[in-house]
């Protein structure tokens, strides 16, 4: 069986790059520095209009930080999901936990209903669950199609033993998709050690801003900030290198 490659992106250009490089699917986000947040409706529509040979899944996550949401945040996620569905996305990516580190069944069921049949991936909130086996069983019961995980470790390579266990337990009931630290150097080993058939990774490179006039004094974010005149973009060559190695 051939591998399926999903690329984590934060722009329309990223979707185009992933399509050109031969990936099958993208996870469209904003704010990758925060782990990925809900992109704007305009970005979703523009991405769908720009590509045709690749599936566009959209993350629904209102903020960075933990995955325990209040009533207002849950309302926002439901509204964003409905708008994304109506825009024509091919799938959505969600995740919500209780304060005790279990899958929040009530919120997840609400978002599943809002998705109205769209394929659903449960994102790396899974890696913050107190019992990953129980969490997997819950997601299977709920009918989730796919779970994204690093095996509850800093990277997929370190989490490979748990990922392999999840793959065995899942069988054909849910897709286990590893994500976190996948590179051309380790992708073959990861697949061999886990038995996964789908992979999720970003392929980002820094790109200098085209701005000619530059004011070096102010910063648009907090104290921890990137250079104002540097962009991070998705690299087709980096995507191809992982696909080729895999």
51-74 per-position pLDDT tens digit: 999 999 999 999 999 999 999 999
Task: Kindly state the average pLDDT of the residues 131-150.
Answer: 98
Kindly report the pTM of this predicted structure: 0.92
79-97 tens-digit pLDDT: 999 999 999 999 999 999 9
Q: Which domains does the chain have, with CATH numbers?
A: 4-245 (3.20.20.380)
DSSP H helical segments within the chain, as ranges?
A: 12-21, 41-50, 71-87, 105-115, 132-142, 156-170, 187-194, 236-245
User: How many CA atoms does the CB half-sphere of 136 hold within 13 Å?
Assistant: 25
Element (H, E) at 205: strand 204-208
The DSSP secondary-structure symbol of 14 reads H
150-198 tens-digit pLDDT: 999 999 999 999 999 999 999 999 999 999 999 999 999 999 999 999 9
Q: How far apart are CA 55 and CA 72, in angstroms?
A: 30
Cα torsion through 208, 210, 213, 216, rounded to 10: -20
Strands in 55-59's sheet, in edge-to-edge order, are 175-178, 146-149, 120-122, 91-94, 55-59, 25-28, 4-9, 198-201
Token duo for residue 142: 């709920």
In terms of C-beta density within 10 A (0-12 exposed, 13-18 middle, 19 or more buried), how is residue 179 classed? buried
Higher pLDDT pick, 115 / 246:
115
Is the pLDDT reported for residue 7 higher than 80? yes
Q: How far apart are CA 161 and CA 19, in angstroms?
A: 31
Residues paired with residue 97 on neighbouring β-strands, in sequence order: 103
Is the pLDDT reported for residue 232 higher than 90? no
């Amino acid at each position: 069986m051939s591998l399926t490659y999903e690329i984590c992106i934060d722009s329309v250009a990223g979707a185009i790059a992933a399509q050109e490089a031969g990936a099958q699917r993208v996870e469209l986000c904003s704010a990758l520095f925060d782990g990925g947040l809900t992109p704007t409706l305009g970005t979703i529509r523009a991405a769908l209009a720009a590509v045709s040979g690749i599936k566009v899944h959209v993350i629904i996550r209102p903020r960075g930080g933990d995955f325990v949401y209040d009533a207002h945040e849950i309302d926002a996620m439901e509204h964003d999901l409905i708008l994304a569905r109506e825009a024509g996305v091919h799938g959505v990516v969600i995740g919500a936990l209780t304060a005790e580190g279990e899958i929040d069944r009530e919120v997840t069921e609400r978002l599943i209903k809002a998705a109205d049949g769209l394929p659903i991936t449960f994102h790396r909130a899974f890696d913050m669950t107190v019992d990953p086996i129980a969490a997997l069983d819950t997601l299977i019961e709920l009918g989730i199609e796919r779970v994204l995980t690093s095996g509850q470790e800093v990277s997929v390579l370190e989490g490979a033993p748990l990922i392999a266990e999840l793959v065995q337990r899942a069988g054909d009931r849910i897709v286990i998709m590893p994500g976190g630290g996948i590179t051309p150097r380790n992708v073959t080993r990861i697949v061999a050690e886990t038995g996964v058939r789908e992979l999720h990774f970003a392929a980002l490179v820094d790109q200098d801003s085209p701005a000619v006039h530059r004011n070096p004094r102010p910063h648009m974010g907090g104290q921890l900030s990137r250079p104002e005149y540097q962009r991070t973009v998705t690299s087709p060559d980096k995507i191809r290198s992982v696909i080729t190695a895999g």
